[in-house]
Amino acid sequence: ALEKKVAKSKVGEKVGLPCCHEIPSSESLLNYRVYWQKNTTEVVLAYSKGEKISEHERYKNRTELDARNLTLWISPVEIPDNGLYQCVVQHLKFSHDSVVPRVVCDEPVTLFVTADFSEPNITAVVTARSCESTEMVVRCSSHGGFPKPKISGVLNNGSLEWNATWVSESSLSPYNVTGKLRLNVTKDVNLTCSIEYNGFVKSTSLLLTNTNECIVPTMPPPYNVITASSIIFIIFLLAITLAARYLPRHVCSHCSKNQDSVEDDVKESMKPHKISKVTSETSSL
C-alpha cells in the first residue's frame, strides 16, 4: 500500500505539494511530462518537454513547479485549494521521429487547508430566577473558519454537549458555528467553550453567577422566650384588671366616710346647749 502523503497550510500561506518522482541530475525537465491534477478531473498545472502547456484559471499566477523534485507550490493558499491532488509523471523516450511516454509516477497527495476561526464569544441570558437557582440560555459562537469545526464545552471540569448549528455557503467556504444550551445554575460556575478544527483549538471562558435575590426570613424567637413573654403579658393584664376593680371601691369608701363626718358635725352644731339651761335654773334657786 502506498503511504498517503499529506500537506497542511493556512489560508494566505505558501505550501508545497510533494511529487512522487525526482528528476536525476543527469536529466532535465525536457525529458518529462508532468501533470498536477485535482480530484483527477481538473488540471492545475502541466508541463511537457520543459514548457508549460496548461494552467487552471483559478490557479493562475498562484502556482510554480520545481524543476528537479516536481513539487507543486501554491501561494497564497485559498480555502477552495483544499482537497485531493494527483502527481502524474511520464518519462519521454525519443526514438527517431517519435516520442514514447512511460509513466514513472502516479500518486495522490492531500492538502488540508485551514482558516482560523474567531475567538469564541459566549453570551448568557437569564430566563428565570428562584431562591435556589438561576435559569439561563447560553450561546457560544465563532465565525470565518475552515474546515467545519467541532464545538465542545466544559462546565466546572465536566464536559457538556452543545446544540450546535453550522452555516456555510458550500463545503469549500468559511463556516460560522453557534452552540446553544440551557443551564440551571445553583452556584457560580466556570464555563469554557472550545472550537476545534484541523488540530487547532480556540477557547473562551465565562463565569456564570447564580444571581438570585431572595430575602432570607428572620428566625422565630426560641420557645423559652415566647413562653416567658406570654407569662409576663398575662400578669400585666391581670394587674390592670385588678387595679380597675380595686381602686374605684377604695376611693368611694373613703369619700363616704368623709361625707358622714361632715354631716355629724353639722348636726352637732344645731343641737341646743343643755349646759347653759341647767346653769340658769340653778341661779334662780
Over 60: is that where the pLDDT of 68 sits? Answer: yes
Rg of the chain over Cα atoms, rounded to whole angstroms, equals 55
State the DSSP string of 87-120.
Answer: EEEEEEEEETTEEEEEEEEEEEEEEEEEBPPPPP
pLDDT tens digit string along 263-283? Answer: 555 455 555 554 444 433 434
pLDDT (0 to 100) of residue 258: 54
Tell me, which fold does domain 5-114 have in CATH? Immunoglobulin-like (2.60.40)
Residue-level pLDDT at 278: 40
pLDDT at 211: 74
Segment 123-160, tens digit of pLDDT = 999 999 888 889 999 999 999 999 999 999 999 889 99
- Judge whether 59 and 52 are in contact, CB under 8 Å: no
Residues 6 or more apart whose Cβ sits within 8 Å of residue 139? 122, 123, 124, 178, 179, 180
CA–CA–CA angle 149, 151, 156 (5° rounding): 155
Specify the fold of 118-208: Immunoglobulin-like (2.60.40)
Quick one: 149 exposed, middle or buried, by C-beta within 10 A (0-12, 13-18, 19+)?
Answer: buried
Kindly report whether the global pTM for this prediction surpasses the value 0.75. Answer: no
Write the DSSP symbol of residue 75. S
Res 266: pLDDT? 47
pLDDT at 170 over 80: yes
Indicate where the chain has its CATH 2.60.40.10 domain(s): 5-114, 118-208
Closest C-alpha to 183, from 134, 252, 217: 134
In this predicted structure, the answer to whether residue 1 has a pLDDT above a threshold of 60 is: no
pLDDT, averaged across the chain: 84
**pLDDT at site 279:** 39
